[in-house]
Amino acid sequence: MTATEGATPTIVLVGHGMVGQRFLEAIAERGLTATHRVVVLCEEPRPAYDRVALTSYFSGRTAEDLSMTDMAFLETHGIELHVGDPAETVDREARKVVARSGRVFAYDTLVLATGSFPFVPPVPNKDAEGCFVYRTIDDLLAIEKYAETATTGAVVGGGLLGLEAAGALKGLGLTSHIVEFAPRLMPVQVDAGGGAALLRTIEDMGLTVHTGVGTQEIVVDQSGAVTGMKLSDGSELATDLVVFSAGVRPRDQLARDCGLTVGERGGIAVDERCRTVTDPHVFAIGECALAADGRVYGLVAPGYEQAETAASAIADDESEQLSFTGADLSTKLKLLGVDVASFGDAHGAAEDCLDVVYSDSRAGLYKKLVIGRDGTLLGGILVGDADAYGTLRAFTGSVPPVAPESLVLPAGAGDSVQLGPSALPDEAIVCSCHNVSKGTIRGAVTEHSCTTVPEVKKCTKAGTGCGSCVKVLGQLVTAELEASGVEVDKGLCGCFSQTREELYEIVLALRVNTYQDLLDRYGRDGARGGDGCDVCKPAIGSIIASLAPSIGASGYVLDGEQAALQETNDHFLANLQKNGSYSVVPRIPGGEITPEGLIVIGEIARDFGLYTKITGGQRIDMFGARVEQLPLIWTRLVDAGFESGHAYGKSLRTVKSCVGQTWCRYGVQDSVRMAIDLELRYRGLRSPHKLKSAVSGCARECAEAQSKDFGVIATSNGWNLYVGGNGGATPRHADLLAQDLTDAELVRLIDRFLMFYIRTADRLERTSTWLERIPGGLDHVRDVVVEDSLGICEELESLMTAHVAHYADEWATTINDPEKLARFVSFVNAPDTPDPVVGFVPEREQIKPDLPLLTIGHRPLEGSAQR
Amino acid sequence: MTLAPETTDLKVQLQLEEGGLDWFTVCDLSRLVPGRGVAALLPDGRQVALFRDRSGALYAIDNRDPFGGAAVLSRGLTGTHQGRPFVASPLLKQRFDLVSGECLDDETVRVATYDVRAA
């Protein structure tokens, strides 16, 4: 009996990893979920997650963050997902799968996406306590727990995953070793030269690398726990923990047990449509499949391609006959902060091919191109700087239009050429995840009127896979727009043709210290002498405020003309809420507050009837203040020693901290003191957008510093500085800018970083997007602020020194200025009357806005005066 | 003895009824900072947002943001868009023409306007 009898046909998917999930999306797109019952059996206790980003779990991403499964998607498409219930046996005769729970599922089509398992070399004591593999979230949880009592860790295997695992162990505070049998790191991707460049950089990070040695035995103590390992060169390495990361093998046992053909070295044999060669009702995709070209692919992109292929074969639509005959193994990775890329024939396997190599071991750079006799680019390896990857990969298979050596020389050296994507032929594949050519991308701009990268992504799917081509995509879109005569106006707004950065330079260099002066002298023709607009006014108000002491402007944002430039929040030094009331946030540096301070805030909130809430930035927000109450509230706060927290400003918000070394058993530095110092140093600093920061007292990162614009994490040697992190709608993990800094070095570097950001960012551009946008990215920023490559660091530091020296609390200044105070009324002609639209009703023993009040008072136009 | 009127003595006045003869005095002209607004309460409870631009011209529109409902238009940023003076609501940034009351971002929405003078 089959499932088709009388009822809906059934697809059973065994395995819910990344490829399995992609398969579900692919069949949903093809409408198969509407016509089929779909059952998914998943061995792990959680649905599909981003295994590629597994290591980011240790840098703060939670299991939920890593999840790739949208429950609403499963629900919408009626997909039955059974987690923690793997398939145990398959009866191909009866077309039935039995799960571990004993449930039986009949199928019409069976799709195996069982993935792979970590290969553990058969050495004695390989299963001892303290031995781990690195494959699932559960593996990571186990390693994390065990690492709490360990001081040293060793990773067996110096490949991609091995390096990630070693970095993770180091992040957990362990002294870390890498043991690789091959004579170099990442033997599959890079050659000896690339391995040497990589080795130097990895060792500089404090990891110890042992290459050319094998593991012979795991040494255990009497209780059976790991104490070390014996290596093939006779030496012994003391370690508390061992992670095996020596490659993976296809998980094909289920297939073997039911008589499906598997390859000699494993892998379920499939044809070009990913159907098993043995049984037309059974498909295999991803790392468990032996593709038609006789290879098992361990990368996610080919797995996705197989998922699409299998889905198209099951849909059996004449118009779409996908096949999988092999995949490009090009990869670009960032391992422990090092760019590593290999593409095409990276090892020069083709006959008669020649190498062009640039190598600088001192800088950890290695670039090799493999060139055919006729000048065709066949492949290459890039270590340390893989910026050219997108372009070079697309040129692979063709003769590049310039001499190959000019492509590997560093920028600025001799005849180096930065070959832009404009030189690519139309058929060059720009996005290899979705197989999108340059011609298709150009077409999106010229024929589908896309004008931005997000539009092109949506239109072509390019850049929506691994994302490594997004940079090239941006260049192509700009080039195409310019070529088609669309003037890409980079001006700030309708009033200024300059960018924010250019206006900053004008303001600073020429000491233009009023908005009107800037508009009248540097505005667009029609805008000079006018009133400006709501875009440039706050942007230039911010520039003037950032530079105030250096250009002879007032540092008080409500002074003179500056008052008219501020958004309502800055103008009222509080945060406007939906009913026209404001919220008030006093500064609580580092989140440290005395009981007396808490009591004062409590009393003020109680006396003014304010709603109170603890913020995400370790402060207290008081809501529901009317305009005329603000000065009274500030006076009470200022009297008690509080000041503005600038919660309203595009300026420093908070510097969060964990409790640090003073109290915490794990802390290695005084994170609270550093957070307070930083918050007090940068308070009031106006910037292109808000600035958030945090300081963690150890690598456990309780303050979440890596999600901040600038985050500091304590090490036993000092401080590590991370920049460009973000939470919110577009989370981004911060990049490590510098390591093991002293207090003074840290402060100096943050001074430079912030001032460089303020100088060069666009308006409302957070550090995360700024870092992604500016040419050269993080490396450029590091060159400028660490190496002082532009020679501007002295100026950056002196600008910050001037800011710090001239800081004054805006609340205190305002309550002492009767003329400014007069503005804090609901009505200019009735200063004692509160705005009747601002009302409140009770909720959970506090207040909330009385929203119905906002709809009353809406008057029809007829009744009122018209001009 | 008659002195020339000083600008600081000028009052901002509104006409409450279209075509009416009475002018309602709101405040001293000096209370209006160029580029910024103030709110005024009318005898019947209506609220008006008053603005003064760089050239000295005065504008008055209903203070209530028709999108969000709060009486906050007086607290928005002003500017010029294609020659039309506007205020951008501080709630969700929709711009309103200070002369016609028309919303520049949604032509189906319009706020009331008032005749205003300095006298």
Q: How confident is the model over A235-256, as pLDDT tens digits?
A: 999 999 999 998 889 999 999 9
Q: What does the pLDDT average to over B26-49? A: 92
Contacts of A648 in chain B (CB under 8 A): none
Among B38, B77, B91, the residue with its CB nearest the CB of A534 is: B77
Name A465's Cβ contacts closer than 8 Å, sequence gap at least 6: A301, A304, A431, A432, A433, A434
Q: In the predicted model, what is the mean pLDDT of chain A? A: 88
Please determine, for residue A414, whether its predicted confidence score (pLDDT) is greater than 60: no
pLDDT on residue A578: 92
Among A572, A837, A865, the residue with its CB nearest the CB of B18 is: A865
Q: What is the pLDDT of residues A672-723, one digit of tens each?
A: 999 999 999 999 999 999 999 999 999 999 999 999 999 999 999 999 999 9
Mutation site, B15, B50, B74, B77, interface A, largest A CB count within 10 A? B77
> pLDDT grade, residue A628 (50/70/90)?
very high
pLDDT on residue A56: 77
pLDDT on residue A509: 87
Helices A500-510 and A536-551 meet at what angle, rounded to 10?
30
How many domains does one find in chain B?
1
Which range (A58-62, A506-510, A604-608) has the least confidence?
A: A58-62
Domain-located, residue B42: yes
Domains of chain A: 10-117+250-315 (3.50.50.60), 131-246 (3.50.50.60), 328-419 (3.30.390.30), 420-488 (1.10.10.1100), 500-566 (no CATH)
Strand partners, A693: A655, A710
In B97-116, the residues whose Cβ lies within 8 Å of chain A are 99-101, 110, 112-115
Q: Return the SS3 of A658.
A: coil
Please determine, for residue B63, whether its predicted confidence score (pLDDT) is greater than 80: yes
Exposed/middle/buried for residue A828 (C-beta within 10 Å: 0-12, 13-18, 19+):
buried
Asked whether A340 and A333 are in contact (CB, 8 A), the reply is yes
Q: Does residue A56 or residue A133 have the better pLDDT?
A: A133
Strand partners, B11: B28
What string of H, E and C letters represents the secondary structure of A85-148?
CCEEEEECCCCEEEECCCCEEECCEEEECCCEEECCCCCCCCCCECEEECCCHHHHHHHHHHHC
Contacts of A829 in chain B (CB under 8 A): 25-27, 40-41
pLDDT on residue A667: 92
Pairwise CB contact (< 8 Å): B90 & A836: no
Pairwise CB contact (< 8 Å): B90 & A833: no
Q: What is the pLDDT of residues A457-472, one digit of tens each?
A: 878 878 766 666 777 7
Q: What does the pLDDT average to over A21-27? A: 93
Contacts of A823 in chain B (CB under 8 A): 38
Q: What is the pLDDT of residues A367-380, one digit of tens each?
A: 888 888 888 888 88
What string of H, E and C letters represents the secondary structure of A515-531?
HHHHHHHHCCHHHCCCC
Asked whether A132 and A139 are in contact (CB, 8 A), the reply is yes
Q: What percent of chain A has pLDDT over 90?
A: 55
Pairwise CB contact (< 8 Å): A578 & B91: yes
Which residue is closest to A851 within chain B, CA to CA?
B69
- In which element (H, E) is residue A341 found? strand A338-344
Chain A nearest CA to B106, separation (Å): 16
Q: Return the SS3 of A30.
A: coil
pTM as predicted: 0.56
- The 3-state DSSP composition of chain B as helix, strand, coil percent (nearest 5) reads 10, 40, 50
pLDDT on residue A443: 85
pLDDT on residue B114: 93
Pairwise CB contact (< 8 Å): A859 & B46: yes
Q: Which of A596, A572, A566 is nearest to A585 (CA)?
A: A572
Q: Note the Cα A863 to chain centre separation in Å.
A: 54
Among A529, A537, A838, the residue with its CB nearest the CB of B79 is: A537
A572 touches chain B (CB under 8 A): yes
Q: Which of A320, A295, A270 is nearest to A110 (CA)?
A: A270
Q: Which of A543, A450, A564 is nearest to A499 (CA)?
A: A543
Among A531, A572, A578, the residue with its CB nearest the CB of B53 is: A531
Q: Does residue A430 or residue A830 have the better pLDDT?
A: A830
Please determine, for residue B2, whether its predicted confidence score (pLDDT) is greater than 70: no
- Residue type, position A796, single letter: L
Mutation site, A528, A557, A864, interface B, largest B CB count within 10 A? A864
pLDDT on residue A704: 95
B36 touches chain A (CB under 8 A): yes
Please determine, for residue A489, whether its predicted confidence score (pLDDT) is greater than 90: no
Name B19's Cβ contacts closer than 8 Å, sequence gap at least 6: none
pLDDT on residue A412: 53
A860 touches chain B (CB under 8 A): no
**Enclosing domain of residue B13:** 7-118
Which residue is closest to A838 within chain B, CA to CA?
B70
Pairwise CB contact (< 8 Å): B17 & A564: no
CA distance A36 to A856: 53
Q: Which of A54, A364, A336, A366 is nearest to A206 (CA)?
A: A336
Please determine, for residue A406, whether its predicted confidence score (pLDDT) is greater than 90: no
A449 touches chain B (CB under 8 A): no
Contacts of A529 in chain B (CB under 8 A): 54
Among A565, A568, A833, the residue with its CB nearest the CB of B75 is: A568
Asked whether A779 and A724 are in contact (CB, 8 A), the reply is no
Please determine, for residue B3, whether its predicted confidence score (pLDDT) is greater than 90: no
Please determine, for residue A366, whether its predicted confidence score (pLDDT) is greater than 80: yes
Chain B nearest CA to A519, separation (Å): 12
pLDDT on residue A856: 58
CA distance B36 to A334: 50
Please determine, for residue A806, whether its predicted confidence score (pLDDT) is greater than 60: yes
Query: DSSP string of A388-432?
Result: THHHHHHHTTS--SS-THHHHSPTTSTT-----GGGS-TTSEEET
Among B15, B71, B90, the residue with its CB nearest the CB of A837 is: B71
Asked whether A586 and A664 are in contact (CB, 8 A), the reply is no
For residue A97, CA distances in Å to A34, A109, A181, A256, A762 come to 22, 11, 40, 14, 57
pLDDT on residue B86: 95
Asked whether A671 and A697 are in contact (CB, 8 A), the reply is yes
What CATH number does residue B28 fall under? Answer: 2.102.10.10
Q: Return the SS3 of B48.
A: strand
A826 touches chain B (CB under 8 A): yes
Among A537, A823, A865, the residue with its CB nearest the CB of B115 is: A865
Q: What is the pLDDT of residues A818-867, one digit of tens each?
A: 888 988 999 999 988 999 999 999 999 999 999 888 875 443 333 333 33
> pLDDT grade, residue A582 (50/70/90)?
very high
Domain-located, residue B74: yes
> ipTM of the predicted structure?
0.91
A563 touches chain B (CB under 8 A): yes
Which residue is closest to B75 within chain A, CA to CA?
A568
Which residue is closest to B38 within chain A, CA to CA?
A828
Pairwise CB contact (< 8 Å): A854 & B79: no
pLDDT on residue A411: 58
Pairwise CB contact (< 8 Å): A858 & B27: no
Pairwise CB contact (< 8 Å): B39 & A854: no
Tokens of A300: 């996610």
pLDDT on residue A485: 67
Domain-located, residue B111: yes
Q: How many CB atoms lie within 10 A of CB A855?
A: 9
Pairwise CB contact (< 8 Å): B69 & A866: no
Please determine, for residue A415, whether its predicted confidence score (pLDDT) is greater than 80: no
A534 touches chain B (CB under 8 A): yes
Q: What percent of chain A has pLDDT over 70?
A: 95
Q: What does the pLDDT average to over B1-13? A: 62
B64 touches chain A (CB under 8 A): yes
Chain A and chain B share a number of CB contacts under 8 A equal to 139
pLDDT on residue A438: 85
Chain A nearest CA to B2, separation (Å): 29
B49 touches chain A (CB under 8 A): no
CA distance A602 to A625: 14
Which residue is closest to B11 within chain A, CA to CA?
A829
Tokens of A753: 């970083």
Domain-located, residue B1: no
Q: What does the pLDDT average to over A497-518? A: 91
Q: Which of B98, B76, B59, B83 is nearest to A527 (CA)?
A: B83
Pairwise CB contact (< 8 Å): A533 & B81: yes
User: CA A829, A834, A839 angle in degrees (round to 5)?
Assistant: 150
Name A554's Cβ contacts closer than 8 Å, sequence gap at least 6: A548, A560, A562
Order of strands, sheet of A582-584, starting from the edge strand that comes earlier in the sequence: A575-576, A582-584, A620-625, A611-614
Asked whether A678 and A693 are in contact (CB, 8 A), the reply is yes
Contacts of B54 in chain A (CB under 8 A): 516, 529-531
Which range (A561-570, A629-638, B9-18) has the least confidence?
A: B9-18
Domain-located, residue B2: no
Pairwise CB contact (< 8 Å): A532 & B46: no
Asked whether A585 and A690 are in contact (CB, 8 A), the reply is no
pLDDT on residue A206: 85
Domain-located, residue B30: yes
pLDDT on residue B4: 44
Pairwise CB contact (< 8 Å): B70 & A830: no
Q: What does the pLDDT average to over A491-503? A: 90
Exposed/middle/buried for residue A564 (C-beta within 10 Å: 0-12, 13-18, 19+):
buried
pLDDT on residue A4: 44
Q: What does the pLDDT average to over A467-481? A: 77
Chain A nearest CA to B1, separation (Å): 31
Q: What does the pLDDT average to over A532-548? A: 93
Pairwise CB contact (< 8 Å): A527 & B75: no
pLDDT on residue B1: 40
- In which element (H, E) is residue A794 found? helix A793-806
Chain A nearest CA to B80, separation (Å): 6
Q: Does residue A857 or residue B50 have the better pLDDT?
A: B50
A818 touches chain B (CB under 8 A): no
Exposed/middle/buried for residue A100 (C-beta within 10 Å: 0-12, 13-18, 19+):
middle
Q: In the predicted model, what is the mean pLDDT of chain B? A: 88
Pairwise CB contact (< 8 Å): A567 & B85: no
Among A516, A851, A861, the residue with its CB nearest the CB of B112 is: A861
Q: What does the pLDDT average to over A149-156? A: 93
Indicate the pairing of strand A338-344 with strand A282-284. Answer: unpaired
CA distance A428 to A424: 6
What string of H, E and C letters represents the secondary structure of A535-560?
CHHHHHHHHHHHHHHHHCCCCCCCCH
B117 touches chain A (CB under 8 A): no
pLDDT on residue A301: 82
- Residue type, position A459, single letter: C
Contacts of B16 in chain A (CB under 8 A): 865
